[in-house]
Amino acid sequence: MADKKTKILIIDDVPENIYLLQEMLDQKEFETITANNGKEGIRAALNEIPSLIICDIMMPELSGYDVMKILRQNPKTETIPFIFLSAKTTQEEIRQGMDLGADDYLTKPVSSKNLISAIHTRLAKKEAVDKKFEGLIHSISYALPHELQTPLTSILGFAEILIEDHETIEREDILDIAKNINSSAKRLNELIQKILLITKLDMISQDSEKVNSLQENSICRAENILTETAREKVKLYDREKDLLISVQPSAVNFSESNFRIVCQEIIDNALKYSKKDTTVHIIGISLNNEYVISIMDSGRGMNEEQIASVGNFMQFERKKFEQQGTGLGLSISKKLVELYGGKFKIESIPGKQTIVRMTLNRVKNPKA
């Protein structure tokens, strides 16, 4: 049985339709609010903030499409699950509703069983998304303050020096200060971009159409990006002699830009958490319909609990090793690999070795 606090808004210009829907929902102990047209529906949604909205499409003045467009633009109502209920049944019309952001589309007449099933499904998905964001916010509360405070303190401190002592500072000192401000600003921008990306990936993962769209026509040459990225990274760490790379050629189902992000994050981690003069080994092997990438380092490793806890803003033993970062790199990489239908696995021996293994879908005959 539904909780009485589960509030559902019904928007329909036909009183008989509203009555029938109320009867179905009352039997399951949902609390219902009603509106006889689009304008009333918008006012009710903003005032009551329902758990879910059921809306007719063909209504005077404002159609159901118009109602959803307006509510999706308001932060108070943009994430409320929205179900269209209409006699319009063409694929084009259903697609239009989905493209606008509808969560479901039911045709009249609808049975109580189908209606209640659709409501429970959408409410459950909304709850799952909310829990994920709650977990993200909880993790952010630990890692984010430090990561924001450090570059901001540097930027503000050096800016204050420029303001107070600009008349007496030597030109070469001004350049050094500018470089420090620029470096701190880049670090801050990198953090912001990662937060935006992980939030975007979380949203995409909840929408099967967006996942399909992401995967469609996405092809890149894995060996080229792996090699280019690895050489760029070892040069930055002054560890060219530590790189051992052996990658077979293969096209994979991945966009070039997103695959480059994954390679950058994983290879950077391998170099960051292992010592100079130890090997970072990158292997790429084609196996039937799959391309298996293994990135190995001889760093401090991770235990089973840490591997299982890989997620947003999770960084392990931060105080002990006094490292920068939020732990977002592994989470971003894992989410991207899985969004493209691949597998992501971490194998590690604490104090000795870590292997990040990614299994991607091969594209055997890519078009030129």
Please check the confidence at residue 311 and state whether its pLDDT lies above 70.
Answer: no
Please check the confidence at residue 325 and state whether its pLDDT lies above 50.
Answer: no
The mean per-residue pLDDT over the stretch 277-283 comes to 96
Backbone angles phi and psi of 349, in degrees to 5: -115, 110
Q: Which residues of 235-261 are buried (b: 16+ CB within 10 A; e: fewer)?
A: eebebeebbebebeebbbbbbeebbbb
User: Which pLDDT does position 143 carry in this prediction?
Assistant: 57
The structure tokens 């399909």 sit at 212
pLDDT-based confidence at residue 3 (cuts at 50, 70, 90): very low
Please check the confidence at residue 326 and state whether its pLDDT lies above 70.
Answer: no
What share of the chain in percent tops pLDDT 90? Answer: 43
Least reliable range by pLDDT among 13-17, 102-106, 264-268: 102-106
Answer whether 8's CB lies under 8 Å from 53's CB: yes
User: Which pLDDT does position 352 carry in this prediction?
Assistant: 87
Q: Which residue ranges does the chain devote to CATH 3.30.565.10? A: 213-361
Higher pLDDT, 256 or 205: 256
CATH assignment, 213-361: 3.30.565.10
User: Which pLDDT does position 1 carry in this prediction?
Assistant: 42
Q: What is the mean pLDDT of the chain?
A: 84
pTM: 0.56
The structure tokens 């090997």 sit at 279
pLDDT-based confidence at residue 51 (cuts at 50, 70, 90): very high
The mean per-residue pLDDT over the stretch 124-143 comes to 69
Q: 155-167: per-residue pLDDT in tens?
A: 888 888 888 888 8
User: Which pLDDT does position 225 carry in this prediction?
Assistant: 97
User: Which pLDDT does position 350 carry in this prediction?
Assistant: 83
Give the distance between the most distant pair of CA atoms in the chain: 81
CATH assignment, 130-206: 1.10.287.130
Q: Which residue ranges does the chain devote to CATH 1.10.287.130? A: 130-206
The structure tokens 């995409």 sit at 204
Q: 336-350: per-residue pLDDT in tens?
A: 999 999 999 998 888
Higher pLDDT, 10 or 352: 10
Return the structure tokens found at 311. 């997620």
User: Which pLDDT does position 105 carry in this prediction?
Assistant: 81
Angle at 344 between CA 299 and CA 202, to 5 degrees: 110
What share of the chain in percent tops pLDDT 70? Answer: 84
User: Which pLDDT does position 198 carry in this prediction?
Assistant: 82
User: Which pLDDT does position 258 carry in this prediction?
Assistant: 95
The mean per-residue pLDDT over the stretch 102-111 comes to 82
Q: Which residue ranges does the chain devote to CATH 3.40.50.2300? A: 7-110
- CATH code 3.30.2130.10 for 7-110: no
Query: How far, in Å, CA of 211 to CA of 197, rounded?
Result: 15
Cα 38 to Cα 10, 67, 101, 115, 239, distances in angstroms = 10, 6, 17, 21, 63
